[in-house]
């Protein structure tokens, strides 16, 4: 048996001199007067492609080509050293018993000498066995969480028996195991011992790895720096890290993201110093840079539902006297321009905050012109996975251009209402904004009364579920490279007397980029006597989409292809939802852009028998 740590080739695999970057010459020789850098000899590698590419790039012999005063004795010594170098390089690919011959080809008059490297690599070494050992706090077999972590490291070990041994695969397997160890509970974990025993004659490798977890770490106090405008209490409330909780890198990253996305800070960085402090209460360093007090953002975008879009946003992070945050936005486009402002307080100890909002919008769908006012005041709580919202809301809609008479105002959505509402949102995605698996559910229930004329009570409820289901086996391909099914179900209902004039903002229409593709924005609704499309009291939509990541030259790209089918309907009675469904089918593409997903879809509406392009993209400067 030959004990091998496979470090002999490390020098050859690192940075080379500029002279070594010159391409190898595969011809018998070259005139000494040829263009390019002067060289004392050429190198020709005769070997399988994988081996040839490695040797041409990393042989130490390459850098000596620029030494023009080599004599025969010095060149001979270089050939001996080159063979040892080649054997080390081949070992990184798992070839420990190759036949390597390095010699100088017969010199031809007027041409540079040629060094020929002939390699017959032989069988590649296979992993025969793997032994993983643990020491430190993780060696405690009585703790169920410890047992689960050890089992996960063993289960996810990448270089299993029967697989080909290479230096890269060995390094990647060790790195993966260490990453799993230090991600939770044991941030000071390290590799205390690793060894690859190679039997060159049998082409077998026996691997051993010992992981030292060190002590279990728990979080201590937050050490905040960079605050000028806000109190550190805000950081603690937004971060949601409890003193005494077990160290979890994922929790620190989530806290960092919450702080950075809160609007109060431009950047946030959280870390623990395992070399300082008590592992039972390790301090958490929080480095912050506060956002500017006021900010103006100009945006341009485009969507097929509404055409070109121009937006102007103003953010004030600390209003005088109140100390609240104000976010105002003006958006101009061809169909649905609006202006809105939302004011929110700092979160209290239970993470609840007060909020007030006003929105004025105008929807021109080609048949009805609907102008809406919405006033809202309430409280909201944003959790890790669960958001809550309780609010009082006033809605008023004025509808024109319909050709309908006042007797059918309830059908067009004209009216006003006051309602009390409660909403819940639960998220369980693995990553955002590009999830590979998970689901989210939003549900809202409210009740209120119509205003003006004869007042009528009503109840309104909505629910929306989205899910990402990965396809294929995770053992065969990484999660990010697998295809997925994106599923969506949405439903809404309003229960009220038939004559109640419910405002359009509380009723439903469907169709468009984020609803049923193949149909225009809110083209799916009730058919009015004038031929216009009005809102209805019941709505149901659904979507099934197959998403497949695209590769180029075997490398995963930021693009995905999609095939989808959407369906939906709006009705005045719940039992009519299943009749005459509006169905859209099509295909499209997705791009994981720096500002979020870009969506391009070509859909065919079966009911209207038309093709429609759906595209949404935006950028901010």
The domain that holds 329 is classified in CATH as: 2.40.160.50
Q: What is the DSSP letter of 512?
A: S
pLDDT (average), residues 551-579: 91
Task: Please provide the DSSP assignment of 238-261 as one string.
Answer: HH-PPTTPBPBHHHHHHHHHHHHH
* CB-CB contact of 397 with 412 (8 Å): no
Residues 6+ apart with CB under 8 A from 362: 336, 337, 338, 369, 370, 371, 372
The sign one gets for the Cα dihedral 11, 12, 16, 19 is: positive
For residues 531 and 593, state if they share a domain: yes
The pLDDT of residue 409 is above 70 = no
What is the pLDDT confidence band of residue 408, given thresholds at 50, 70 and 90? low
pLDDT tens, position by position, 487-513? 999 999 999 998 899 999 999 999 998
For 210-233, the three-class secondary structure string (H helix, E strand, C coil) is EEECCCCCEEEEEEEECCCCCCHH
Contact between residue 81 and residue 9 where contact means Cβ atoms under 8 Å apart = no
**How high is the pLDDT of residue 300?**
86
User: Which pLDDT value is given to residue 428?
Assistant: 93
pLDDT of residue 77: 83
Please tell me whether residues 140 and 196 are part of one structural domain. Answer: yes
Residues 15-36 have a mean pLDDT of 37
Mean pLDDT of 104-123: 86
Are 181 and 193 within one domain?
yes
Same domain (yes/no): 497, 439: yes
Q: Predicted confidence band at 592 (pLDDT cuts at 50, 70, 90)? A: confident
Tracing tokens 């030259």 back to the chain, one arrives at 553
Domain check: are 534 and 398 in the same one?
A: yes
Q: Are residues 410 and 282 in the same domain?
A: no
Residue where a domain terminates, one of 96, 120, 144 = 120
185 and 331 share one domain:
no
* CA 144 to the chain's CA centroid: 31
Alpha-helix residue ranges (DSSP H) falling in 554-613: none
Q: Is the domain of 512 the same as that of 400?
A: yes
Kindly report whether the global pTM for this prediction surpasses the value 0.85. no
Task: Give every CB contact of residue 181 below 8 A, 6+ residues apart in sequence.
Answer: 138, 149, 153, 189, 211, 213
Per-residue confidence at 111, pLDDT binned at 50, 70, 90? confident
- Count the alpha carbons within 13 Å of 283 in the hemisphere toward its beta carbon: 11
602 vs 41: which has the higher pLDDT: 602
136: left (phi over 0), alpha (psi -120 to 50) or beta: left
State which of 120, 138, 171 marks the end of a domain. 120
Residue 413, pLDDT > 90, answer no
**Cβ(111)–Cβ(120) below 8 Å:** no
Strands ordered across the beta sheet of 126-135: 2-4, 190-199, 204-212, 126-135
Instruction: Please state, for a pLDDT cut of 90, what percent of the chain lies above it.
Output: 62
Q: Which residues face 449 on adjacent strands? A: 418, 457
**63-67, 330-334, 557-561: least confidently modelled range:** 63-67
d(CA 452, CA 284): 57
Q: In this predicted model, what pLDDT tens digit does every residue of 138-179 receive, in sequence order?
A: 987 688 889 999 999 999 999 999 999 999 999 999 999 999
> Do 82 and 229 reside in the same domain of the chain?
no
Q: Which of 161, 157, 208 is nearest to 181 (CA)?
A: 157
**What is the CB neighbour count within 10 angstroms for residue 474?**
10
| Structure confidence at residue 29 (pLDDT) | 42
* CATH code for the domain of 174: 3.10.20.310
Residue 560 belongs to what domain range? Answer: 294-473+480-620
Cβ pair 97, 51 in contact under 8 A = no
Q: Are 223 and 203 found together in one domain?
A: no
pLDDT for the residue numbered 595? 67
Residues 6+ positions from 73 with CB-CB distance below 8 Å: none
CA 23 – CA 13 distance, rounded (Å):
16
Q: Which of 290, 308, 330 is the last residue of a domain?
A: 290
- The pLDDT score that the predictor gives to residue 493 is 98
Instruction: Indicate the number of domains in the chain.
Output: 4
Same domain, 469 and 523: yes
Calculate what percentage of the chain has a pLDDT beyond 70.
89
Per-residue confidence at 621, pLDDT binned at 50, 70, 90? Answer: very low
Q: Which residues neighbour 599 within 8 Å (Cβ) at sequence distance 6 or greater?
A: 513, 588, 590, 614, 615, 616, 617
Maximum average pLDDT range among 3-17, 195-209, 518-532: 195-209
Same domain, yes or no: 564 and 492: yes
pLDDT in tens, 225-246: 999 999 999 999 999 999 999 9
The pLDDT-based confidence of 196 (bands split at 50, 70, 90) is very high
């Amino acid at each position: 048996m030959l004990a091998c740590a496979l470090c002999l080739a490390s020098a050859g695999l690192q940075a080379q001199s500029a002279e070594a970057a010159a391409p190898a010459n595969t011809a018998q020789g070259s005139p000494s007067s040829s263009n390019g850098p002067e060289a004392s000899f050429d190198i020709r590698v005769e070997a399988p492609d994988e081996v040839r590419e490695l040797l041409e790039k990393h042989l130490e012999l390459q850098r000596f080509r620029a030494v023009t005063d080599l004599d025969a004795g010095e060149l001979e010594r270089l050939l001996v050293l080159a063979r040892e170098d080649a054997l080390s390089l081949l070992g990184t690919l798992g070839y420990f018993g190759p036949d390597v011959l390095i010699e100088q080809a017969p010199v031809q008059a007027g041409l540079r000498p040629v060094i020929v490297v002939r390699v017959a690599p032989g069988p590649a070494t296979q992993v025969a066995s793997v032994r993983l050992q643990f020491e430190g706090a993780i060696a405690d077999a009585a703790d169920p969480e410890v047992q689960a972590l050890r089992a996960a490291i063993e289960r996810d070990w990448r270089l299993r028996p029967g697989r080909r041994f290479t230096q890269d695969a060995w390094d990647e397997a060790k790195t993966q195991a260490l990453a799993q160890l230090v991600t939770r509970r044991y941030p000071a974990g390290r590799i205390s011992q690793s060894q690859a025993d190679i039997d060159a004659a049998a082409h077998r490798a026996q691997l051993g790895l010992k992981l030292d977890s060190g002590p279990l770490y728990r979080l201590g106090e937050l050490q905040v720096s960079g605050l000028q405008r806000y109190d550190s209490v805000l950081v603690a409330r937004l971060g949601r890290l409890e003193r005494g909780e077990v160290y979890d890198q994922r929790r620190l990253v989530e806290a960092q993201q919450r702080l950075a996305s809160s609007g109060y800070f431009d950047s946030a960085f959280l870390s623990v110093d395992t070399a300082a402090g008590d592992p039972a209460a390790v301090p958490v360093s929080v480095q912050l840079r506060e956002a500017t007090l006021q900010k103006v953002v100009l945006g341009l975008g485009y969507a097929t539902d509404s055409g070109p879009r121009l937006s102007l946003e103003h953010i004030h992070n600390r209003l005088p006297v109140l100390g609240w945050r104000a976010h105002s936005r003006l958006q101009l486009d061809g169909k649905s321009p609006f202006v809105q402002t939302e004011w929110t307080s700092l979160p209290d100890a239970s993470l609840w905050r007060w909020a007030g909002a006003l929105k004025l919008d105008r929807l021109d769908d080609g048949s009805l012109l609907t102008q809406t006012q919405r006033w809202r005041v309430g409280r909201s709580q944003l959790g890790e996975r669960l958001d809550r919202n309780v609010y009082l809301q006033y809605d008023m809609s004025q509808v024109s251009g319909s050709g309908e008479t006042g007797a059918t105002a309830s059908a067009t959505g004209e009216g006003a209402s006051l309602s009390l509402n409660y909403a819940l949102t639960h998220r369980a995605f693995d990553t955002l904004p590009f999830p590979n698996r998970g689901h989210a559910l939003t549900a809202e229930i409210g009740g209120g009364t119509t205003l003006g004329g004869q007042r009528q009570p009503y109840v309104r409820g909505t629910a929306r579920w989205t899910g990402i289901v990965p396809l294929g086996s995770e053992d065969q391909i990484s999660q990010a490279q697998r295809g997925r099914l994106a599923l969506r179900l949405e439903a809404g209902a309003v229960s009220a007397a038939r004559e109640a004039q419910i405002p359009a903002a509380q009723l439903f229409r469907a169709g468009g980029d984020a609803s049923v593709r193949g149909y225009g924005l809110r083209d799916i609704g009730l058919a009015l006597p004038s031929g216009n499309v009005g809102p209805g009291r019941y709505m149901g939509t659904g979507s099934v989409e197959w998403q497949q990541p695209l590769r180029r030259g075997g490398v995963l790209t930021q693009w995905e292809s999609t095939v989808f089918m959407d369906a939906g309907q709006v009705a005045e009675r719940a039992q009519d939802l299943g009749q005459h469904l509006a169905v859209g089918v099509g295909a499209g593409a997705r791009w994981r852009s720096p500002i979020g997903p870009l969506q391009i879809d070509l859909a065919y509406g079966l009911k209207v028998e038309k093709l429609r392009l759906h595209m949404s993209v935006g950028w901010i400067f």
